[in-house]
Amino acid sequence: MYDKTVRRRRLVLALLVVLSLILLTAYFGESSSGGLHSVQRGFLTVVSPIQNGANKALKPVRDLIGWFGDTLHAKGQRDELRTQVDRLRREVIADDSEKHSYRELLTLFRLDNQLSVKDYHPVTATVVAKSPNVWYSTVTIDKGESAGVRVNDPVINGEGLVGKIAQVASDGAQVTLITDSSVGVSARIGSSGATGIVQPKVGEPNDLLLQYLPANTRAEKGEYVVTSGTVSSPDDSLYPPGIPIGQVTSINEESAYRSVNVHPLANLHNLDVVQVLTAARGSLPANLSRVTAALPPGRQGASSGEQLASTGGG
């Protein structure tokens, strides 16, 4: 009797381990349109409304817990923001006259058809699930295909760039955050205009690194890094230019290319509401994304993407 119990116990363990390994191998080996991925999308479709309901019901609990942490940081943040407001006010006044000249020049040279956030149709979504471990920088939102959300659509919030859509179900979608190792965003430094690619910093997954900048790039601590409106690979999303990504924290000069450390502006640990920038079929962003994705490898450089983005509408 004892032997039978032991045998059954070990058999159950072996069966479950083998089943897990089969699942893992099959899932890892198949494409995103494979059977297991479809099952996962189906599950997401079913549980999205439940997650959404649970999310709304549990929001007071989350807010209460978050309130304690927020209160502790509020005083320090207030002083920091006052200094920032003073600096920004001075910058806005100085930029106003430059902006006027810039608009005149754009009109003069017929360059005012660049892709911008206005060309997209923003869909507001609520974050309903978040992975608890360091391996997955993803969140799940409550809007999907039925709201016009598609794979690779850019995702932003009030603070800046958040990420892009990785998988879509009918009423939910998975967002890969900009801190995920699979994401690279073409970006430029606000003042100098030098362009590079923003990727997560190795060893510090909550920080970013703007890489492949020209060696003579000058950057100051606190400068803003924004999207450049170009793509660096066929799988990338064509983010509209000018979306804030982060602020420069330090500059690295040890290699032929210069790189700067960037702290993301969006608080990716505490995402609640985001906007997905969707593009209707036939619109300028959709056409540009289609063109850049269709280019053969090696053609999607910063320059080609930049050219496409700036000439696509005309």
Partner 1 sequence: MGPLGSPALLGRIAALSIVLVFFQIGVVSEVPVFGVSADLSPLLVAFVGLMCGSTLGALSGFAVGLLVDLALVQTLGVTSLTLTVVGYFAGRLREARDPQAALTPLLVGAAGSAAAMVAYSLVQFLLGVDAPVSLELLRQIVLGVVVNTIIALPVWALVRRCLIGGLPEDPRRRRRRAYTTGGLSPLSRS
Binding site for partner 1 (CB under 8 A): 8-9, 12-13, 16-17, 19-28, 36, 39-40, 43-44, 47, 50-51, 54-55, 58, 61-62, 65-66, 128-136, 138, 140, 166-167, 174, 181-182, 200-205, 269-270
Q: Which residues pair with 125 in a beta bridge?
A: 274
Q: Are 275 and 158 in contact (CB under 8 A)?
A: no
Q: Which is nearer to partner 1, 47 or 293 (CB)?
A: 47
CB of 270 to partner 1, least distance (A): 7
Largest Cα–Cα separation, the chain: 91
**Amino acid, single-letter form, for residue 233:** S
> Residue 56 and residue 62: Cα distance in Å, rounded?
10
CB of 296 to partner 1, least distance (A): 24
Q: Which is nearer to partner 1, 20 or 303 (CB)?
A: 20
Q: Are 223 and 198 in contact (CB under 8 A)?
A: no
**Which pair of structure tokens corresponds to residue 224?**
């803003």
CB of 140 to partner 1, least distance (A): 7
Q: Give the DSSP H/E element, type plus range, for residue 306.
A: helix 302-311
CB of 101 to partner 1, least distance (A): 44
Q: Which is nearer to partner 1, 36 or 295 (CB)?
A: 36
Q: Which is nearer to partner 1, 41 or 188 (CB)?
A: 41
CB of 242 to partner 1, least distance (A): 29
Q: Which is nearer to partner 1, 21 or 111 (CB)?
A: 21
> Residue 278 and residue 58: Cα distance in Å, rounded?
29
Number of helices followed by number of strands (H, E) in the chain = 4, 12
